Structures are given as C-alpha cells and as structure tokens.
Structure 1
Amino acid sequence: MKKACDALAKSPIFRQLNHDTFGHFCNRLSIKMYYKGEMLANEGDECQALGIVLDGQVALQKYSFDGEFTTLDLLGTGDVFGEDLIFSSRHIWPYSIEAVTHTKIIMLTLNVLIPLFQENPEIIRSFMAFMSDRIQEQNQRIMVLSQRTLRGKISNYLLDLYTTQLVAAQKSQAASGSSDNKEVLPGDQDSPPTVVLPVSKEVVSRLLAMPRPSLSRELVKMEKDGLIHVDGRSIELLNLADLERGRNINTLIGRHHGELERFG
C-alpha cells in the first residue's frame, strides 16, 4: 500500500492529508487493474467512486454514433477523475474512460470519502481549490476548441502549453533553491521559447479535435511561415507575437460573425 499512499500524497486533493491518518486511510483503499484498451467506464454508467491514477495512463473519450471519438483529456499518475460527479445529484458519466496503457486505479467511494473529509477539514479546502483549478482548465479547453481554424487551435494549444511548462520550470527551480542557470527555463538566454509535447502528435490531434494528417500539414505550414520549428516532440516558438495574433484573429472572426448574424 506504500505506493498507493505515495500516489495519494502527490494528488492535489490529498497532499494535505495528516500523515498519522494517512496509514489508516490507505488500508481502506480499493485498487483496480485495467489492461490497455479496457474501459474503466462507459458513457451513461453511474459514477460510484472518485478515481486516482496509481500507474499508467487513461483517456477521457467522447464517442459519436458512428464510432468516431474525441479525446477530452489524458490522465497520468496522481491525476484524478470523477471529482465532478461523485457528489453530484446526477452522477452519470458524460464520457467514456479508456486505459491507454496497463493501468492501476485507486477507487474512493463515498463511504471512504465522507468520513475522511469529516476527520480532515483541510482536505475540503484542497478539494475546493482543485475543483476551481479544473474549472479554469476546462474553460481554457473550451477556448482552444472554439477556435475556427486549425492554426488558431494549434496556436492556442502551444501558447497555453508554453505558459504551463514555463510556470512548472520556474517552480521547480525555486523549489531546488538553485540560482544558477543549469536548468534553463523555456525561452531563457538566447534560445527561442520551446515547448515539449507531453504526448504524441496522434494524441494531440485528438485533443484538438482534428485529423492527424491535418495537424501535420498545418505544423509544416506554420514552420514554413516562420512561426515554429518542429523537432520531434520539441517545438520552438519562433514568433510569439504572430502566434498570439493568430489566436486573437480567430476570436475577432467569431465576434464579427456573430454581429453579422444579429444584423443579417
């Protein structure tokens, strides 16, 4: 159970858990194993537990009637799912959850969660902060998907990824107490800002709701236009201003289109 306790300690909800309570709590955990391609839950199923990824990776998938699907999110070790449903009056999964790799999941039912919250009020604050962060992430995801062009979606995704990775690098450097430049932050010194795709381009295309070939073609076009340089999963952002301008242009197009519809 030590590995399960370590995974919980890394999760944003339970990192404030009192260590004296921790051991007793870990003994009440349920851990389930899933093989690659196995479904953890299907759309329409009842959500009966909060899930935390102990090992592996799972994908939240939204399927259409013709069998096509969009990847809504990818979750890895320490990530949480079901937090928006477990306490809801309508706890029905609005998407399916699939194991992308062999996966171990910690399952926390209400019978475990409610006493834990009652005994540890600080976890309630962590849960509320976590939910607020997730809402912001979902709002950002809506912003990406609302872009009207492939370039707009890709630009938005890369800029958000750059911000996320820059903040993570700064926190890591601050935590290590390092004042030298051994760990170069994205965009430091003379190098252009760089992001590293956390997943394959196939998965990125699913996250952006576009065909894989379309993503590849648009990346090539953006490289020819001097916006980016692609090297595997590493992408240099050569022109942040134009990438930002492309994102804003898409927003303006949407606004003008709405105005034309109102006056049409």
Structure 2
Amino acid sequence: MQNIVSTLQKNPLFGGMPSPVLEGLARHCRIREFERLQDIFAMGDPADSFFIIADGWVKLYRTSREGEETIIHVFGPGESFAEAAVFSERNMYPVNAQAIEHALLVAVPRAAILHNIEEDSHFALNMLGTISARQRYLVQQLEQVTTRSAPQRIGAFLLRFCRMHPEGENGAMVASLPYNKSIIAARLNIQPETFSRALSKLAQHGVKTERQHIVIEDAEALEEFCDFSYDDIPCR
C-alpha cells in the first residue's frame, strides 16, 4: 500500500492531503500493470476509475471510421488521466487509452473519489483545479498546432520534457526521448516525413540530437524561437 500512497503524493490532485486521508484512499486503489501496446480502456467503456502513472507512458487517442489514429495526449510518470470521465453524465471513457511501453498505474475508483469529494472540500477544490488546468493546457496545445510551425512545436515539446531532467554540463538540458518519434510527431500533428526535417532545423537554435538523445545547449534561444512559456506546461 505504501507504493500507492507514494504515487498519490506525487500527483497535484492530492497535494497537501494529510497522510491519513491518502492512506484511507489507498486502501480502495489498486496497482495495475500493462505491457507495451496493451489497451487500458476503450472508448465507450464504463468510467469506473481514473489513473495515476507510477511508471511508464500512456497515450489517449481516438480512431476514425477509416482507421486513422489521432493522439489526444501522452501522459508520463506522476500524471493522471481520465479524471473528467468519471464525473461525466454518461460515465463512459470518451477516448481510448494504451500503454506506449510497460506501465504501472494506480487505479483510483470512482466511488472512492466521490466519497472524498463529499467529505473533504479541499479535495474537491484540488480536483476542480486539476481538471481546469488540464483543459487550459489542451486549449494552449490547440493554439500551438494552428499558429506555430513544425520546428516551433517540436522545440516546445523538447523544452517541456527536458525541464523535468537535471541539467548537464555548462547548463545544457539533456534527456532521452521518452517514446518513439512517430508518436511525438502524431502528438504534435506533424507528418512523420516532416518531423525529421523540422527537428534538424532546430540545430541552429542549439538543439543536438543523436538517436533518442536530446541536448539543448541554449534553452533561452530555443524558448525565444518557439515563443515558449513554462506556463504552457501541463499540471503535474
């Protein structure tokens, strides 16, 4: 149970919650393990839980009648997803969810969350704040897709991701890409054949790439090029 409590504590939804409250909630939660490319839930399934990622990466997506996949968002360690679905009138997941790689998730039951909301106003406000921040971030992402070039979108993605990792030598930002470039391209609404060309254009703005490794030598220059603000970062 301690692993569940630790995962809950790392999520902003439960920030500032007393340990007894988290321990009580943890008794109703369970850890679920998913292999790479394993489905977590499908669009239309009953939304009986939302999830917090202890380890791994998860994509939310929809598929058109023609079979074309549109990635809605990709979530990583410490983040939660499907919160809004458990409160919808239809009480169904509006998208599909799949593990991009091996993932450990904490499933938080709908019934336990509703009980906590009824009993704890601080918890209810945290829930509203988290959902509001997520909605604001998605609006910002839609704006980026429509107003920024492919290199700018990739640069903003790299800045957001590398910020979560320790600085390298001389203040450089260094990280390994968390998942396949094709998924990043789809997430940013960029064609795969365009992605590599757009990424190479970032070299003049201090970005070096080697397979899955990224080095941002001059973060300020890249931020200026991308018109980037750290306010664009999703809640964690």
1:213 and 1:146 mapped to 2: Cα distance? 19
How far 1:123 sits from its partner (Å)?
Answer: 1.2
The 3-state SS of whatever aligns with 1:146 is helix
How far 1:187 sits from its partner (Å)?
Answer: 9.2
1:199-256 CA-to-partner distances (Å, cap 9, x unmatched) read: 3433321211223232002223454xx34432233243765487248x9xxxxxxxxx
Q: Name the counterpart of 2:98.
A: 98
Q: TM-score, normalised by structure 1?
A: 0.71
Q: Name the counterpart of 2:178.
A: 199
Which ranges of 4 or more aligned residues in structure 1 deviate by more than 4 Å? 163-166, 183-188, 194-198, 237-242
The 3-state SS of whatever aligns with 1:142 is helix
Q: Does 1:154 align with 2:151?
A: yes
Q: How does 1:249-264 map to 2 (within 5 A)?
A: none
- Amino acid of the structure 2 residue aligned with 1:54: A
Residues 222 and 105 (structure 1 numbering): CA distance in 2 closer, same or farther, change over 3 Å?
A: closer
Please say if residues 147 and 153 of structure 1, whose CA atoms lie closer than 8 Å, have aligned partners that are also in contact.
no
1:33-76 CA-to-partner distances (Å, cap 9, x unmatched) read: 32222111112323221222233221112222333323222222
Residues 37 and 156 (structure 1 numbering): CA distance in 2 closer, same or farther, change over 3 Å?
A: closer
- Amino acid of the structure 1 residue aligned with 2:64: S
Residues 128 and 101 (structure 1 numbering): CA distance in 2 closer, same or farther, change over 3 Å?
A: same
Q: Name the counterpart of 1:251.
A: none
1:93-114 CA-to-partner distances (Å, cap 9, x unmatched) read: 2321001222232222232112
Q: How does 1:62-101 map to 2 (within 5 A)?
A: 62-101=62-101
Q: Name the counterpart of 1:56.
A: 56
How far 1:143 sits from its partner (Å)?
Answer: 1.4
Please say if residues 13 and 127 of structure 1, whose CA atoms lie closer than 8 Å, have aligned partners that are also in contact.
yes
Residues 163 and 58 (structure 1 numbering): CA distance in 2 closer, same or farther, change over 3 Å?
A: closer
1:89 and 1:100 mapped to 2: Cα distance? 29
Greater C-alpha Rg: 1
Please say if residues 53 and 105 of structure 1, whose CA atoms lie closer than 8 Å, have aligned partners that are also in contact.
yes
Percent identity between matched residues is 18
Aligned residues: 223
How far 1:185 sits from its partner (Å)?
Answer: 9.2
Q: Name the counterpart of 2:145.
A: 145
The 3-state SS of whatever aligns with 1:13 is helix
Q: How does 1:1-80 map to 2 (within 5 A)?
A: 1-80=1-80
RMSD over aligned CA atoms reads: 3.1
2:153 and 2:169 mapped to 1: Cα distance? 17
Structure number with higher relative contact order (C-alpha < 8 Å, ≥ 6 residues apart): 2
The 3-state SS of whatever aligns with 1:71 is strand
Q: How does 1:122-137 map to 2 (within 5 A)?
A: 122-137=122-137
